[in-house]
Amino acid sequence: MLVFWKARLVLLAVPKTGTSAYARALAPHAGMVVNDPPELKHAPVYRYNRFFRPMFEKMGAEQMDVMAVIREPISWLGSWYRYRQRPFLDGKRVSTKDISFDAFVDAYCRGERPPFANIGDQSKFVEPRPNGTEVTHLFRYEDQGRIVAFLEDRLGVTIDLPRANVSPRRDLTLSPEIEAKLRRKCAAEFALWDRIGDA
């Protein structure tokens, strides 16, 4: 998570949406960089609302804009799948080694997800809170030009994005049956994606 105090902007770090590259590029311009623990680095709206918003308000920021980037759901799952194929996870319960992408997505669609598919939901990450705390600027991961233009304008800087946290390439073809199941069981993820496109 990056906090740009003077610009009154918070960039939430939705996992697997390229925020590591933005953190590297923009850390020198941020008033606060939250790298650890992961629960705060990747604080969703509800955690931001609980821990950070009250602190910012006490420091005089009545209103902080909140920004988040959302990735197309199948691409997002593919990024998680590829990340968990990395050798340093071999033998761990979260590893996707020797698991097909179909099997990974099928497991993700379950009510009780096994550890290797227990990665949360983008829609829950940005879910508004009852007190009105919400993401005020939502962007599609695939629309990097729009993201960069917004940040450059808001922060008054030029951004040169490095490649960061890139996972190995894998075949991410889903069978029609599993894709249909994903779209049915995780309709909220696709609805969120579609809504950003209409914004």
Of 39, 40, 58, nearest to 2 by C-alpha is 40
Residues 6+ apart with CB under 8 A from 131: 49
Q: Report the C-alpha gap between 10 and 106 in whole angstroms.
A: 34
**Mean predicted confidence (pLDDT) in 1-9:** 95
Q: Report the C-alpha gap between 75 and 40 in whole angstroms.
A: 24
Residue ranges of domains in the chain, CATH in brackets: 2-198 (3.40.50)
What 3-state class would DSSP assign to 5? coil
pTM score: 0.91
What 3-state class would DSSP assign to 195? helix
Tell me the per-residue pLDDT of 16-47, one tens digit each, with 9 for 90 and over.
998 888 999 999 999 999 998 888 999 999 99
Tell me the per-residue pLDDT of 132-179, one tens digit each, with 9 for 90 and over.
999 999 999 999 999 999 999 999 999 988 765 555 566 788 999 999
Q: Report the C-alpha gap between 176 and 95 in whole angstroms.
A: 24
Give the pLDDT of residue 191: 95
Q: Is residue 109 within 8 Å of residue 181, measured between CB atoms? A: yes
Tell me the per-residue pLDDT of 78-117, one tens digit each, with 9 for 90 and over.
999 999 999 999 999 999 999 999 999 999 999 899 999 9
